[in-house]
Amino acid sequence: MRTPGRIRPGRATEWLRAHDPELAATRRAVRTALVMPALFALCGQVIGSAAMATFAAFGSFSMLLLVEFTGPMVQRLRAHMGLAMAWMVLICLGTLVAHITWLAIATTALVGFLVLFSGVVSSVLAGATTALLLAYVLPVTSPTPTSQLPERLAGAGLAAAAAMLAISLLWPRPAADPLSAPAARVCRAAAASLRSDAPGCDPRRAAADQAAQTAAASELRSAFDAATYRPTGLSADSRAVVRLVDELTWLCGIVADSGPPPERRMARDPGAQAVRVAAALVLDRAADLLDDPHGLPDALPAAAAGLRQAMTAMEHSTTTRLPVHRPGPATRTEVRPFLGALDLSFRAQELAFVTLQIAGNVDLAAAAGRRSWPERLLGREPGTATSPLAAARERAAAHLEPHSVWLHNSLRGALGLGIAVLIAHVTGLEHSFWVLLGTLSVLRSNALSTGQKALRAVGGTVAGSLIGSGLLHLVGHHGTLLWFLLPLAVLVAGIAPAAISFAAGQAAFTVTLVILFNIGHQPNWHIALLRVQDIALGCAVSVLVGLLFWPRGAAAAIDRALAAAYTDSARYLSGAVKDAVGRCGTGPAPAADPQRERRQAAAAARRLDDAFRGYLAERGPKPVALAPMTTLVTGVVGLRLAADAVLGLWQGERPTTADRADACLVLLGAAKRVSDWYGMLAASLDRRTAVPDPLPRSTAADAGLVASIRRDLGGAHKQAAGTAVRIVWTADHLDAARRLQPSLAAAVRGDDPP
């Protein structure tokens, strides 16, 4: 029988999982609620050092709640050890400069810039910036004699030791990425579906395997849609796994389309079937590596090499299976059947290219996960020959240019913190670090978001101050009750920002600090109300700096990066087709340099990856959800993949003297239509204009293409027939780029994917 008015634990758990899907915020909050009050009591009540208690409390709060390193446990402990050492250095620096106003301001600006800009080097540093800044803000706004420095360092050291014990013993975070297991199941299901479609297999088994593949893909998409933005977890390996979601969804569609229809199961293409079997092996090895990133690293590259060999053999054998003994198609009604003779081989080739892309991403994720601690810290990409230090210098130097969003954010943050220190010293506030906390909590790279977040921060602080004042009024002379309220306040402060809102988290954090400042003293509700003034000053600094300097932020930066990546990738696809036209006959041969355009597209993709990491690392709500944003990022990969396929298809093919002017014109026209659409998509992303409607398939262009090469396809000359096959496949790759358009348009518009 249900008790009226009572919240069932099961319902509360469901609510929490719905708002904190991976329980990442809950895990951090529980640890902090256990460790922080215990350290505060030990240092303040047992040891009797107020300075040690303050730094132990804020140190544990910072190291347990504001950061969550990923990777194996050994790597996480090393990261926490490095964070602890950085805390010691910053505490010493802040304590030494706190007494001289101009030196404190200058040092704060310098430290703020270096800490914020260091995030461009690696996700480890990007995820630790807030914790590092708090280590400096606390001492620089609390001037004390240097004789108290050992107590401060002891408190921070005790917090670091307790944090390392907590992350290893108290509800440890799973080492594997939450998307790895469902991604591995999709790979295995797709491999089984490819094998069950072989000649002689039971059709019922093929249908069951196809259903299992659909279910696995749906499970992966559900897990992805439920995932939260995890800035501290979006390292190189995590970002590679995130990109797998759309690639595997794309793969499942190709697997479903790549086999022949049931009525043609006996009319097999042996070369295409060999490619499908080799692709299945690659997917199995990819699944093995997703399940165990530290397993055999050579099995997947060896399987990928076998797939490439099968692709080459299929390409050479395709011309022998053409319908050379029947007349070439002359009417539109004959176009589809004739193209069907090449459809199986092209679908197998398309399947192979996507499978190789997936294999590359899985291999990248595993290699990134096997990196050493210095390589992770300094952001060295797997497979590069440069040293970790050289890789860090190269990445940092690449962003020392006027248009870098990292540079803008770092300069803005440094200026904001410097002004906050100036205000704190000039006004002589008793707890002046509240001003810097206000600045730090709402300073954003977007002026509009800064203003909105400042209002929420002030509103949350006001609410928290009123709640804290009410609690202090109710507690009265029974100050011991505050010890029991402190863990609860810390728990709510840790969960609220992720599960409720930023304002709720700000209110809970304010209540936590109000309790901290009144434990051991006569409770004074006036102190809580004074904090509103301090936090409002910090918020005002953030809004002012955000309005005056570079009002466009990470959201605008990723839009620009997406626009540039689509522009360069579309140019690369067009250049690859122009190169193909120059090799297939005496038709029009526009000048093209596909290798240069390929390098430009690759460079734009790297800049997009940096902007994507910056977008995810920016705290607070995002204007675009993770799923559509990842669809847009992965779409660049699909476009480049089509261009790579066209370029690889014609490499080594010598120009011929045959007259294929009509075929060349069809290819150039199709390439222009597709490239122009992606150019309009780029413009809509950069200028916030309406996204164009996806292009329909042109049956007339199909008929014109086949009619232009029917003599080559129906003739007996093998080299001419091979060239004609490449022409048809080039058109198919252009059509594959066209088929990406509906999902990309839906992602820009915010519609459900088609």
| 299 lies in the same domain as 429 | no
Does 656 map to a domain?
A: no
| 409 lies in the same domain as 540 | yes
Q: How many structural domains does the chain have? A: 2
Q: Is the pLDDT of residue 648 over 90?
A: no
CA 123 to chain centre: 11
Are 685 and 679 within 8 A, CB to CB?
Answer: no
Does 687 map to a domain?
A: no
pLDDT, tens digit, 9 for 90 and up, residues 149-178: 999 999 999 999 999 999 999 888 776 677
- Distance, in Å, from the CA atom of 548 to the CA atom of 34, rounded to the nearest integer, reads 42
pLDDT, tens digit, 9 for 90 and up, residues 491-516: 888 888 877 777 787 778 777 877 77
Environment class of 47 (CB within 10 Å of its CB; exposed 0-12, middle 13-18, buried 19+): middle
Backbone phi and psi for residue 9, each to the nearest 5 degrees, phi listed first = -60, -35
Q: Is the pLDDT of residue 455 over 70?
A: no
pLDDT, tens digit, 9 for 90 and up, residues 106-116: 999 999 999 98
| 317 lies in the same domain as 266 | yes
Domain that holds residue 505: 399-552
Q: Is the pLDDT of residue 122 over 50?
A: yes
Token pair, residue 435, equals 């001003």
Q: What's the chain's length in residues?
A: 754
Q: Is the pLDDT of residue 93 over 90?
A: yes
Helices (H), 519-593: 525-548, 554-584
Closest CA to 518 of 480, 461, 546: 480
Q: Which residues contact 310 (CB under 8 A, 6 or more apart)?
A: 271, 274, 275, 277, 278, 352
- The DSSP secondary-structure symbol of 45 reads I
Closest CA to 625 of 749, 443, 452: 749
Q: Is the pLDDT of residue 2 over 50?
A: no
Which residue, of 552, 575, 607, is where some domain finishes?
552
Q: Which residues contact 173 (CB under 8 A, 6 or more apart)?
A: 24, 27, 68, 70, 76, 167
Q: Which residues contact 43 (CB under 8 A, 6 or more apart)?
A: 49, 52, 53, 56, 57, 155, 158
What confidence category does residue 332 fall into, taking pLDDT thresholds of 50, 70 and 90? very low
Q: Angle, to 10 degrees, between the axis of helix 594-617 and the axis of helix 405-427?
A: 30
Environment class of 2 (CB within 10 Å of its CB; exposed 0-12, middle 13-18, buried 19+): exposed
Q: Is the pLDDT of residue 521 over 50?
A: yes
Q: Is the pLDDT of residue 303 over 50?
A: yes
Q: Is the pLDDT of residue 5 over 50?
A: no
Q: Is the pLDDT of residue 318 over 60?
A: yes
- Distance, in Å, from the CA atom of 68 to the CA atom of 231, rounded to the nearest integer, reads 9
| DSSP per residue, 288-314 | HHHH-TTS-TTHHHHHHHHHHHHHHHH
Q: By mean pLDDT, which of 86-100, 189-203, 326-340, 676-690 is the weakest? A: 326-340
Does 128 map to a domain?
A: no
Does 643 map to a domain?
A: no
Closest CA to 80 of 65, 69, 95: 69
The type of residue at 754 is: P
Helices (H), 585-625: 594-617
Q: Which residues contact 582 (CB under 8 A, 6 or more apart)?
A: 589, 590, 592, 655
| 358 lies in the same domain as 420 | no
What residue has token string 């090895």?
Answer: 285
Res 550: pLDDT: 46
What confidence category does residue 335 fall into, taking pLDDT thresholds of 50, 70 and 90? very low
| 358 lies in the same domain as 414 | no
What confidence category does residue 478 fall into, taking pLDDT thresholds of 50, 70 and 90? low
Q: By mean pLDDT, which of 420-434, 641-655, 678-692 is the weakest? A: 420-434
23 dihedral zone (left: phi>0; alpha: psi -120 to 50; beta): left
| 500 lies in the same domain as 449 | yes
pLDDT above 70 coverage of the chain, percent: 73
pLDDT above 90 coverage of the chain, percent: 18
Res 159: pLDDT: 95
**638: helix, strand or coil:** helix
Does 29 map to a domain?
A: no
Q: By mean pLDDT, which of 44-53, 311-320, 398-407, 429-438 is the weakest? A: 429-438
Which residue, of 503, 521, 552, is where some domain finishes?
552
| 344 lies in the same domain as 420 | no
Q: By mean pLDDT, which of 61-70, 236-245, 470-479, 669-678 is the weakest? A: 470-479
Res 675: pLDDT: 92
| 428 lies in the same domain as 545 | yes
pLDDT, tens digit, 9 for 90 and up, residues 523-546: 555 555 555 565 566 556 655 655
Q: Is the pLDDT of residue 447 over 50?
A: no
| 351 lies in the same domain as 414 | no
pLDDT, tens digit, 9 for 90 and up, residues 263-289: 544 446 788 888 999 999 999 999 999
| DSSP per residue, 416-468 | HHHHHHHHHHHHT-TTTHHHHHHHHHH--SSHHHHHHHHHHHHHHHHHHHHHH
Res 714: pLDDT: 54
Does 333 map to a domain?
A: yes
Res 416: pLDDT: 78
Closest CA to 414 of 163, 112, 162, 160: 112
| 419 lies in the same domain as 536 | yes
Which residue, of 520, 552, 584, is where some domain finishes?
552
| 409 lies in the same domain as 353 | no
| 427 lies in the same domain as 354 | no
Does 37 map to a domain?
A: no
Res 230: pLDDT: 42
Are 309 and 287 within 8 A, CB to CB?
Answer: no
Does 185 map to a domain?
A: yes
Q: pLDDT averaged over the chain?
A: 77
> What CATH number is given to the structural domain containing 203?
1.20.58
What residue has token string 């000649």?
Answer: 199
What confidence category does residue 688 fall into, taking pLDDT thresholds of 50, 70 and 90? confident
pLDDT, tens digit, 9 for 90 and up, residues 40-72: 999 988 998 989 998 999 899 889 988 888 777
Residue 61 belongs to what H/E stretch?
Answer: helix 50-65
